[in-house]
Chain A
Amino acid sequence: GESVGLHLPTLSVQEGDNSIINCAYSNSASDYFIWYKQESGKGPQFIIDIRSNMDKRQGQRVTVLLNKTVKHLSLQIAATQPGDSAVYFCAEIPDSSYKLIFGSGTRLLVRP
């Protein structure tokens, strides 16, 4: 595999607070990035995407920020809810490849 995470970092937030999940991607040639949410025992669920010609994109309660200089991607979740508890993965598509490469993931725990 091209991207393996041995341990999932965990982010614990209070319900109602904002969450920021970070991801460092590997390929400077990647031009498309996606954030996925994965609940236990389920497949990944699309959250939001961004192209490399953008540095910010907003969705409903979520914002993705892209910093190509340092190859960093972040997902901001506003007013975090218990239903947001899951593992979040960033994924990149290298410009020269059709393959989706996943980052190592972050577990988000929302405290009631």
Chain B
Amino acid sequence: GAVVSQHPSWVICKSGTSVKIECRSLDFQATTMFWYRQFPKQSLMLMATSNEGSKATYEQGVEKDKFLINHASLTLSTLTVTSAHPEDSSFYICSAQTGVTNEKLFFGSGTQLSVL
């Protein structure tokens, strides 16, 4: 299957700093990528949909100025958590869409963010 690489796999940062997470489709072009957030023992919550060359679409309740998404190429989307606080500590997961529908989705390995 297609490979989605997510980096870093874990990061620890101080409160108030910004953290960038990268999501790359390694062997295919992804016009659409999705960013999810997952708290311990909970399900994945869709944060935003990232479309190449256009602004991301955020889910209700997700602050666009807090979670900056950039999808500058067909193989790379980045999520920047700005001015991170301890409550932003979570597991962040991206997925990339290969087909014209959501059916061909491949997930990255996730990034565990811990904000001190």
Residues of A within 8 A of B (CB): 1-8, 32, 36, 41-46, 49, 89, 93, 98-105
Contacts and interface: CB of A to CB of B under 8 A. Distances in A.
B41 A4 contact: no
A109 B33 CA distance: 32
Interface size class of B (residues with CB under 8 A): 20 to 34
A100 B43 contact: no
A6 B34 contact: no
A49 B91 CA distance: 25
Interface string B72-106: 00000000000000000001010100000111011
28 contacts: A1-B37, A1-B46, A2-B59, A4-B43, A5-B41, A5-B43, A32-B101, A32-B102, A32-B103, A36-B107, A41-B91, A41-B110, A42-B109, A42-B110, A43-B4, A43-B95, A43-B109, A44-B93, A44-B107, A45-B107, A49-B103, A89-B43, A93-B103, A99-B34, A100-B95, A102-B44, A104-B43, A105-B43
Contacts of A5: 41-43
A43 B110 contact: yes
Contacts of A44: 44, 93, 107
A109 B109 CA distance: 21
Contacts, number: 75
Contacts of B107: 36, 43-45
A2 B49 CA distance: 14
B25 interface: no
Interface in B10-48: 32, 34, 37, 41-46
Contacts of B1: 46
Nearest 10 A/B pairs, CB to CB:
A1-B45, A43-B107, A102-B43, A5-B43, A102-B44, A43-B110, A8-B41, A44-B107, A98-B102, A43-B109
